[in-house]
């Protein structure tokens, strides 16, 4: 009897051990299983205390947790300090911070990756989509008004017959989008309130035109295209919260206006920028970046800008490779921006490649200094074997590599055909190599065929030497081994500070 009492007491203690902070459950390995049993639908954030993005997420994550709890939802939000609970982090494949996973129905084996934005509304809408109907049935005007009032963007399908083919296509589109709430109605009063006389799909938003009505064939593909093309403002500010929407969209050509938000002429610049945006809707995403914000300085650096050079305009494509463009005129007027974007859409612009001036003593030390202006001449010298480190001054892994790279340069400084070099890729670019992470190591063997060989082996003097002396054939790991560490696009620009102290993987992402 005593043993039974002790066991019951321990069980109760275990259940009570799930602490909460601002309505967010605090999970550990010791209570994780218990949490899944007690809360079948639970969103878990794996975070690191030092992670800037995790810190920025805290208030929105707590707001989402409180909203759901106040509604009486069975969905709970939780967090795990992945630096303390390393076993849990490893079990669920956590490689970066924050990593957010949804455990539905208590299923621990196949959690769903969270894929929406980082604002409270985004989180709540995504979770409701995962646990409820794709579109809420709106049986009265008040429900429709509430859906519109409570969300930045909402989509309502007006269908006299909710079993029609058009309504079915609408529901399929609703199932495919996680970051926008959908409603569906056949109520005459709702039709009348919003001045809809026949079957229609209307996107309501708290910016720009206020609403957009779909005009086309009711099928999933066209509906998704309509929604994605209208759910963002004509001009959107780049922030921690908007980044997922910016980079997760289908528009991969972005024009950026770097401007101090506190500047006296900010509204004038925004007016010109927005005026230009009207003609490129669905083709180019117009984004402005506050050039005075500390977190945005590396983005400026990526474009070769300093905040004292702002306001400034740049354009970037985020296809297979990032390509940057710079307008000839720095004047921010609608006319200049329209002309610049028109040349881009017509394929008449040449990429803008950054370069520092060639240092007078670039070849004085054993490790030669490359910039954009001397890159081609040095690395593609048919008589030289050139080994180049592409680095970033802030990169922790690059700083760790520096003494070894210096020793490598010393070892081959008297060689007649081997050159050890480095290039600051935050200030210099070239057409031959697109750098996505730091340090990136490339070997350019002698010859006329402009061959480029990746180095993925051990970062030791012995490993580098073996690789060089074999002409790039021995000592390197199989190509592609570190591909998963690389960034795919400019979204990772705001992640640069996370690993700059040398923690994490073998690369600092661009």
**Could you tell me if 330 and 394 lie in one domain?**
no
Euclidean distance between CA atoms 388 and 385, whole angstroms: 10
**Could you tell me if 285 and 215 lie in one domain?**
no
**Could you tell me if 398 and 445 lie in one domain?**
yes
Q: Tokens 């495919």 belong to which residue?
A: 176
**Which of 68, 101, 131 marks a domain boundary?**
131
What is the count of structural domains for the chain? 4
Which amino acids are annotated catalytic?
Answer: 51, 54, 395, 398
Q: End-to-end alpha-carbon separation of the chain, Å?
A: 63
**For residue 386, what are the domain limits?**
368-478
**Could you tell me if 240 and 342 lie in one domain?**
yes
**Could you tell me if 372 and 473 lie in one domain?**
yes
**Could you tell me if 120 and 154 lie in one domain?**
no
pLDDT of residue 501: 38
User: 315 and 325 in contact (C-beta within 8 Å)?
Assistant: yes
Euclidean distance between CA atoms 312 and 13, whole angstroms: 59
Q: Does residue 209 belong to any structural domain of this protein?
A: yes
Q: Does residue 248 belong to any structural domain of this protein?
A: yes
pLDDT of residue 496: 40
Closest among 93, 112, 88, 89 to 102, alpha carbons compared:
112
**Could you tell me if 398 and 336 lie in one domain?**
no
| CATH for 390 | 3.40.30.10
Cβ contacts of 479 within 8 Å, gap of 6 or more: 454, 456
**Could you tell me if 405 and 460 lie in one domain?**
yes
**Which of 106, 131, 156 marks a domain boundary?**
131
Three-class DSSP labels, 132-165: CCCCEECCCHHHHHHHHHCCCEEEEEECCCCCCH
**Could you tell me if 26 and 117 lie in one domain?**
yes
Euclidean distance between CA atoms 388 and 376, whole angstroms: 12
Degrees to nearest 5, angle at CA 90 with 86 and 91? 115
**Could you tell me if 218 and 241 lie in one domain?**
no
Distances in Å between the alpha carbon of 88 and those of 28, 226, 236, 388?
A: 8, 41, 37, 39
Q: Does residue 77 belong to any structural domain of this protein?
A: yes
Q: Does residue 275 belong to any structural domain of this protein?
A: yes
Euclidean distance between CA atoms 130 and 453, whole angstroms: 45
Q: Does residue 431 belong to any structural domain of this protein?
A: yes
**Which of 72, 99, 131 marks a domain boundary?**
131
**Could you tell me if 340 and 270 lie in one domain?**
yes
Q: Does residue 455 belong to any structural domain of this protein?
A: yes
- Token pair listed for 266: 């900010």
pLDDT of residue 506: 55
Q: Does residue 11 belong to any structural domain of this protein?
A: no
**Could you tell me if 90 and 186 lie in one domain?**
no
Task: Divide the 510 residues of the chain into consecutive groups of 10 and give the mean pLDDT of each group.
Answer: 43 59 94 91 95 92 95 94 92 90 86 87 88 92 96 96 96 87 96 96 95 94 90 90 79 94 94 94 92 89 87 88 86 95 93 89 96 94 96 91 97 95 91 86 94 91 93 62 35 40 45
């Amino acid at each position: 009897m005593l043993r039974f009492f002790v066991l019951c007491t321990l069980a109760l203690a275990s259940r009570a051990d799930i602490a909460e902070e601002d309505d967010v459950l605090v999970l550990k390995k010791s209570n994780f299983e218990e949490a899944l049993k007690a809360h079948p639908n639970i969103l878990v954030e794996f975070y690191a205390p030092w992670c800037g993005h995790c810190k920025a997420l805290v208030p929105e994550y707590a707001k989402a947790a409180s909203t759901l709890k106040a509604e009486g939802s069975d969905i709970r939000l939780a967090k795990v300090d992945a630096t303390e609970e390393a076993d849990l982090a490893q079990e669920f494949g956590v490689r970066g911070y924050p990593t957010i996973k949804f455990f539905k129905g208590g299923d621990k084996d196949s959690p769903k990756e969270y894929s929406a934005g980082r604002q409270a509304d985004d989180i709540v809408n995504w979770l409701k989509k995962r646990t409820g109907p794709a579109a809420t049935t709106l049986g009265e005007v008040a429900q429709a008004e509430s859906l519109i009032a409570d969300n930045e963007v909402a989509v309502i399908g007006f269908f006299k017959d909710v079993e029609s083919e058009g309504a079915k296509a609408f529901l399929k589109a609703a199932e495919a989008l996680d970051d926008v709430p959908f409603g569906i109605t056949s109520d005459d009063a709702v039709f009348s309130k919003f001045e809809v006389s026949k079957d229609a799909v209307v996107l309501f938003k708290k910016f720009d035109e206020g609403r957009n009505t779909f005009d086309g064939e009711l099928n999933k593909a066209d509906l998704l295209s309509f929604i994605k093309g209208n759910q963002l403002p004509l001009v959107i500010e780049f922030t921690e919260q908007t980044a997922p929407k910016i980079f997760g969209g289908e528009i991969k050509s972005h024009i950026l206006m770097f401007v101090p938000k506190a500047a006296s002429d900010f509204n004038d610049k925004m007016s010109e920028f927005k005026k230009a945006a009207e003609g490129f809707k669905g083709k180019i995403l117009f984004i402005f970046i506050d050039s005075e914000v500390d977190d945005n300085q590396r983005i400026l650096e990526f474009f070769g800008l300093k905040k004292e050079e702002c306001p400034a305009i740049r354009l970037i494509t985020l296809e297979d490779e990032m390509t940057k463009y710079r307008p000839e005129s720095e004047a921010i007027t609608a006319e200049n921006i329209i002309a610049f974007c028109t040349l881009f859409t017509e394929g008449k612009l040449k990429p803008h490649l950054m370069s520092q001036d060639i240092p007078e003593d670039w070849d004085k030390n054993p490790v030669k200094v490359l910039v954009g202006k001397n890159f081609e001449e040095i690395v593609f010298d048919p008589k030289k074997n050139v080994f180049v480190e592409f680095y970033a001054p802030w990169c922790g892994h690059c700083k760790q590599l520096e003494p070894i790279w210096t020793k490598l340069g010393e070892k081959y400084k008297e060689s007649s055909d081997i050159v050890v070099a480095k290039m600051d890729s935050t200030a210099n670019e070239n057409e031959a190599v697109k750098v996505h992470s730091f340090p990136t190591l490339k070997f350019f063997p002698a010859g006329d065929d402009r061959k480029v060989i990746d180095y993925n082996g051990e970062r030791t003097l012995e490993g580098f030497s073996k690789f060089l002396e074999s002409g790039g054939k021995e000592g390197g790991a199989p190509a592609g081994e570190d591909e998963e560490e690389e960034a795919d696009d400019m979204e990772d620009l705001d992640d640069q500070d996370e690993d700059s102290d040398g923690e994490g993987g073998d690369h600092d992402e661009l």
